[in-house]
Amino acid sequence: MLEYYNYIKSLHLIFVITWFAGLFYIPRLFVYQIEASQKPSPEKEILGTQLKLMAKRLWFIISWPSAILATLFAIWLLILMPGWLEQSWMHVKLGFVVLLFMYHLKCHQIYKQLQQDIVKWSSNQMRMWNEGSTLILFAVIFLVIVRDAVNWIYGVIGIVSLSVALMFGIKLYKRIRDKNPNA
């Protein structure tokens, strides 16, 4: 079965990438849905209907299937390489995977609310929420690639610094957008 390891790993990575693509884009669609809900009729209804359809297709044709397939291939890899479960970096990675699933499930909850025209987030809050998957991606990629080569303290400082930079970027974008609504 080990002769198939590289194929299984490749499929796992492909579905992780498509899963993240969905998780990067779905909050953007949420931002657009929230902003469309504040527009006057008939623009509100036209945009709302189209954005709901786009979100539904993205969520159920790309995001959910990719999450499930990435997970199945990951389990298969762990069956082939059970020694990984004894390594501390894998424990931390699996912790981030749990966090990623929590993020995914929260996105699903937001998706269902917006499909019913229930808006509980501002577009700016959703822009900040959108960065959650980016932070998880950075953490997992660096963890897997460098494993024990980098001190954990530097890793934590790096993720916190990235978070601050992302939040600063969002605030800066909001300020620019407020001055020029067409930006």
Instruction: Tell me the C-alpha distance between 122 and 100, whole Å.
Output: 22
Q: Domain ranges in the chain?
A: 2-179
Do 170 and 124 touch, CB atoms closer than 8 A?
A: yes
Place of tokens 């900040």: 128
Instruction: Tell me the C-alpha distance between 121 and 24, whole Å.
Output: 17
pTM for this prediction: 0.84
Amino acid identity at 172: L
Does the annotation flag 91 for ligand binding? no
Instruction: Tell me the C-alpha distance between 47 and 34, whole Å.
Output: 10
Instruction: Tell me the C-alpha distance between 32 and 48, whole Å.
Output: 9
**Confidence at residue 118, expressed as pLDDT on a 0 to 100 scale:** 96
**Confidence at residue 40, expressed as pLDDT on a 0 to 100 scale:** 94
**Confidence at residue 152, expressed as pLDDT on a 0 to 100 scale:** 60
Instruction: Collect all residues with Cβ–Cβ distance below 8 Å to 23 and sequence separation of at least 6.
Output: 63, 100, 103, 104, 107, 133
Q: Quick one: 156 exposed, middle or buried, by C-beta within 10 A (0-12, 13-18, 19+)?
A: exposed
Instruction: Collect all residues with Cβ–Cβ distance below 8 Å to 167 and sequence separation of at least 6.
Output: 128, 131
**Confidence at residue 135, expressed as pLDDT on a 0 to 100 scale:** 85
**Confidence at residue 150, expressed as pLDDT on a 0 to 100 scale:** 59
Ranges of residues in the chain with a pLDDT under 50 are none
How many CB atoms are closer than 10 A to CB 93? 18
Does the annotation flag 93 for ligand binding? yes
Instruction: Tell me the C-alpha distance between 112 and 32, whole Å.
Output: 15
**Confidence at residue 141, expressed as pLDDT on a 0 to 100 scale:** 85
**Confidence at residue 23, expressed as pLDDT on a 0 to 100 scale:** 97
